[in-house]
Structures are given as C-alpha cells and as structure tokens.
Structure 1
Amino acid sequence: MKNWLQLLLVFALVLLLAACGGQEDSAEENAENDNTEQTSETTDQEGASEENTTLTVGASNVPHAEILEFATDLLAEEGIDLQIETFNDYVIPNQALSEEEIDANYFQHIPYLEGQIEEHGYDFVNAGGVHIEPIGVYSQEYGSLDELPDGAEVLMSSSVADHGRILMMLEEEGLITLDEEVDGVNATIEDIVENPKNLEFTANIEPAMLLQAYQNGEGDAVLINSNFAIDNGLDPQEDSITLESGEDNPYVNIIAVRSGDENNEEIQTLLEVLRSDEVKTFIEEEYEGAVLPVSSDAETSDDQ
C-alpha cells in the first residue's frame, strides 16, 4: 500500500513540475514575442522617419503660412515633413534663404524677387507660382473711386516693386494715364501723363504700416495688399472700394529657392501639392476671392 502511495505522490510531483515548466516557457515565449513586436514597431517608425525628407519653408503669416499648414498632411503623404518658419516682413525671408537657414520661401511676387536679386545679388530663382493676392483700395470716407475729390491723397507702398502694379490698377480704373512708352510693370509716379483729379501720391510707407495708416484715417485712399488686410481683420471683397483683377496678373506669389534647387524632388513635390485641387479648393473657400489660386502653368524661373 505504501509503495502505491509513494508512486502516486511521485507522479503528482512530476506533473506539477511539468506544468510549472510549461508556464515559464510560455511566459518566456510571450516576452520574446512582445520584444520582437516592439523592436519591429520601433524599426518601422525609425524607417518611416528616415524615409521622410524635412523641408523648411519661410512664409508670411497670412495667407502663405496658412496655406502651407493646410498642405502639411498632403506633403506628409508624399514623404515630406514640412517645417514652417513665419516672418512678419519682406526682408528677413530672403536673408534666411541666402544663409541656408531655410530651404525655400513663399511670400513674394516675381517683380519683388527680381528687385531683391538686383539689389542684394541673391542667387535665387523662381521655382513656380502658387497664388495671387489682389491689392485693394480702402477709404474711411469715400465709398468708390469716383467719389474721390480733386487733390485727394493716395497712400501707397514704399516698395518700388509694387508701384507699377498700383499705377496700372489706377489706370484701368480711369483715374490716371501712364506714358505709353513705359512698361506698366516698371512705371513710376513720374510716368503719369494725365491726372484729371490731381491725385497726390504718398509712397513712403512700409507695406505693413499701410493698414495702420488706414485705421488712423490718414489719406483719402490707401492701397493695401490682401495679405496684410486679411491678417488684420479686413475682408478685401467687402471692405475695399475696389479690388485688383486677378486675370493676367504678373504679381503671382511664388516659391523662391537658391539657384540649383528648383528641380529638387522635394521642391517639385511642394509645388505639385500647393497647386493640387485640394489646396486650390481650400484657398477659394477660405479667402473667398481675396486670394486667388493659379494654374500649374503659372510663371516660373524659365519665364524670367
């Protein structure tokens, strides 16, 4: 009887040890599997990060940075991690691009870029256009250009690159006539040959300060770029007394890069995304005509 009891106890002990051993093996196997999965996930994440290219673009707050922000997810799908650096003036973005602090900038139109290249010797090119920001005429006192009195003071940007644009706009509205022998884009106040209302032009105000001049009631009419107007709560469509036409407008806002970078894959992808139907729809719906998207055949560096 004792022998049978001893055999049963030994058998039970063997089963117990086998069960414990099996649990330990299972636990070790599960731990190994967990480690393998975590390692795999980490490798995948590192691989995804390594595959994506970081692209740093300098931009004005409105609308440029807002458009880029909308495009961020679209660019991520194309393997580009977009970093946006915002600037509040028209000088530093080109300095930052020249000093290789950023890969591209998006804030200026073609005549301004050409003027900057001539003035500072920048080795930049226009990689392609994205949108147009019509200039609006604003007045605290008058509801239309026809109401402007004789001798009215017109405040305009100190940026020479905008003078021809503004004067062509006023000529289209019938307020002045420019010398026919002068290319309108390069026209200056001295090129006005007819001025029936004897308008007086003040052109020494920084672009960002025109909005303040308007709010302070300075001048009878103030010409303000849409980006500054929108950034300060004005609706160009509703608040301006007239708005520049976007048709055949040479003042398209562009992506500027250092010479040689215009054909880089990430720059071309950036342009493709910014000209995509998704981004065009965003611009149209967000700005309701105050910012106008351009087509993919907009002017590029080859046109300069």
Structure 2
Amino acid sequence: MKNAAFKLAGVTLALSLAWGAQADALRIAADPVPHAEILNFIKKQDPKLDLQVVELTSGVNANELLANGDVDANYFQHLPYLKDQEKALGKTFAVAATVHIEPLGIYSHKHKDFKTLPDGATVAVPNNATNLSRSLFLLQSQGLIKLNAKFTDPATTLATPKDIVDNPKKLKILEIESPQIPRSLDDVDLAVINGNYALEAGLSPAKDALGLEKAEHNPYANILVTTPQLENDPRIKELAKDLASPQVAEFIRQHYNGSVIPVATPQS
C-alpha cells in the first residue's frame, strides 16, 4: 500500500510539474516560414526559454489570438500592418523586437521581364490595406504605374488602385488574399507576393523576383508583438534579446540567402 501511495504521489507530482512547465511556456503565434523556423532555431540555442511555437494557418488572425490571451506574443507582421490592426480591433499592442525584412517581390510564370508585359496585363496583389498599398509603391518603383503625388511615404500613406494617376499598360489590379496569391501565378501576368508566402511556395525572392523591394530604409521590418501587460515579462525580454542576437542574424543570412534580411548588423 505504501508503494502504491508513493507511486500515486509521484504521478501527481509529475503531473503538477508538467502542468507548471506548460503554464510557464511562452506561446508565440508565427507564420511557418520564416518566423517559426527562426523561433525553432532559438529553441535549440536557448533551451532554458520554454517556447511553444503556434504555427498560423490561413484565415487565423494572430492579433486576435493575442488580444484574447490565446498566445503571449506573435511574430509575423510589420509595423504598418500592426497599426492598421490596432484600429480595426480597438486594441493596443506592444512591439518587443524588430527582427528582419522580407522584401516584397513581383513574380511571373508568363514573363521573364516587364518589357514583354502586354497591355491589359493582370496583376495579383494582396487585398489587405497595408500590403495593397505596399504593392502599388513597388509597382511604381518599377515604372509600371504612377501614384498621386501626395503618396510619398509608404509607411504612413495607404494608396489604393483609385490613387493610380498613370497606368501606361492599363494594368488590371486583382486584389487577392495574400496566402492565395502564389497559387494564382499561372492565371495572371504578374503577382506581388509577400516574402514568407513566396518562400513557402518554393520561390526564391532574391533570384526569382522580377522586381524586389530594397532593404535600405524599408519600413516593413517584421516584429515581435506582445501586449502592454506582458511587455516587461522576463521571458519576452529574453526572446527579444535572442531575436536581435548575432547568432540569429547569421542564421537568417545563411539560411535564406538574401530572401530574408536580418535587421541586426553583421559582426566584424
């Protein structure tokens, strides 16, 4: 009976310890590529930081998860998108770290350059306000369209197709859900694709894009986001430190070959 009692007590203690460990886990919602891959690298580098990586699927709003307390932080978005989400959700979040840039790119399965683009060509772009505007600025930088002169700063002024004042090739802009755009490549002339979705689709932004955002002065760096209540949590501070480390920057540089660019500067 004593042995049975000790065994029962041991099982109870083990379950309690397991529950405690689970409660202390830092739950981070992240896109599979590259965000979850970077977090899983950190899990190996800093095992004392108990990370629980929650990979996002299409249609799941990671900011709603964070606002509802289902996760402790998320890592998938840039600041202009976050600001738009704060307005939409009526919530205030906190930026804990600025990590990397995924240059937005223009891709095609039908054309090798913009010179062969026919009049009336179709262009798939993201349908959310910030990335739609970002796409139009990218198309403008490639000389394909011209926006109203009042649109000077892509980080603070959101353009829409109605703001195009010059469209020499009469491009038809098709607004599509960002994760679905890679699947549209066979059906459109051009597709403007976020870096993470391009990587998931087997595209190499640095090699395959006909046009690519510049990394310099790019306002769309991806960030670690949490709530004001958790902003000073030691686990969040530790993860922010890890994400800004030279080791993570080197992992990004080696693993993504210029398709994902760390914000941290190279070590001499």
TM-score, with structure 2 as normaliser: 0.85
Measured at CA, do residues 115 and 90 of structure 1 come closer, stay the same or move farther in structure 2, by a change above 3 Å?
A: farther
Partner of residue 187, structure 1: 159
Q: How many residues align?
A: 244
How much does 1:263 deviate? 2.6
Partner of residue 237, structure 1: 206
Aligned with residue 155 of structure 1, among 118, 121, 124: 124
Aligned with residue 113 of structure 1, among 71, 82, 86: 82
Which has a greater percent of helix?
Answer: 1
Aligned with residue 251 of structure 1, among 201, 209, 220: 220
User: How many Å separate the matches in 1 of 2:95 and 2:114?
Assistant: 35
Report if the CA contact (8 A) 2:124-2:192 is conserved.
yes
Report if the CA contact (8 A) 1:60-1:89 is conserved.
no
User: How many Å separate the matches in 1 of 2:198 and 2:179?
Assistant: 9
Residues 30-86 of structure 1 deviation map (CA, whole Å, 9 limit, x = unaligned): xxxxxxxxxxxxxxxx8xx98x9521111110100000000113332xx42111111
How much does 1:193 deviate? 1.4
2:36 maps to 1:96: no
User: How many Å separate the matches in 2 of 1:167 and 1:211?
Assistant: 18
How much does 1:90 deviate? 5.8
Aligned residue runs from structure 1 range 221-300, under 5 A: 221-295=190-264
| SS at structure 1 position matched to 2:174 | strand
Residues 97-127 of structure 1 deviation map (CA, whole Å, 9 limit, x = unaligned): 1111211000111111111111111231222
Partner of residue 42, structure 1: none
Larger deviation, residues 163-172 vs 82-91: 82-91
Partner of residue 174, structure 2: 202
Higher alpha-carbon Rg: 1
Partner of residue 56, structure 1: 27
2:141 maps to 1:172: yes
CA RMSD of aligned residues (A): 2.1
2:180 maps to 1:212: no
How much does 1:253 deviate? 0.8
User: How many Å separate the matches in 2 of 1:90 and 1:107?
Assistant: 14
| Identical amino acids, percent of aligned pairs | 38
Residues 195-229 of structure 1 deviation map (CA, whole Å, 9 limit, x = unaligned): 222211111x1111101111xx1111011111111
| SS at structure 2 position matched to 1:83 | strand
User: How many Å separate the matches in 1 of 2:147 and 2:128?
Assistant: 19
Larger deviation, residues 177-186 vs 272-281: 177-186
| SS at structure 1 position matched to 2:25 | strand
User: How many Å separate the matches in 2 of 1:177 and 1:92?
Assistant: 32
User: How many Å separate the matches in 1 of 2:120 and 2:231?
Assistant: 47
Residues 212-262 of structure 1 deviation map (CA, whole Å, 9 limit, x = unaligned): 111xx1111011111111112222222222222111111111111112322
How much does 1:293 deviate? 0.7
Larger deviation, residues 164-173 vs 60-69: 164-173
Report if the CA contact (8 A) 2:215-2:261 is conserved.
yes
Aligned with residue 144 of structure 1, among 104, 110, 113: 113
Measured at CA, do residues 280 and 263 of structure 1 come closer, stay the same or move farther in structure 2, by a change above 3 Å?
A: same
Larger deviation, residues 125-134 vs 57-66: 125-134
Q: 5+ residue gaps in structure 2?
A: 1-16
Measured at CA, do residues 111 and 89 of structure 1 come closer, stay the same or move farther in structure 2, by a change above 3 Å?
A: farther
Report if the CA contact (8 A) 2:246-2:264 is conserved.
no
Partner of residue 73, structure 1: 44
Residues 166-198 of structure 1 deviation map (CA, whole Å, 9 limit, x = unaligned): 111111111122112134421111111122222
Q: Which residue type is aligned with residue 200 of structure 1?
A: K
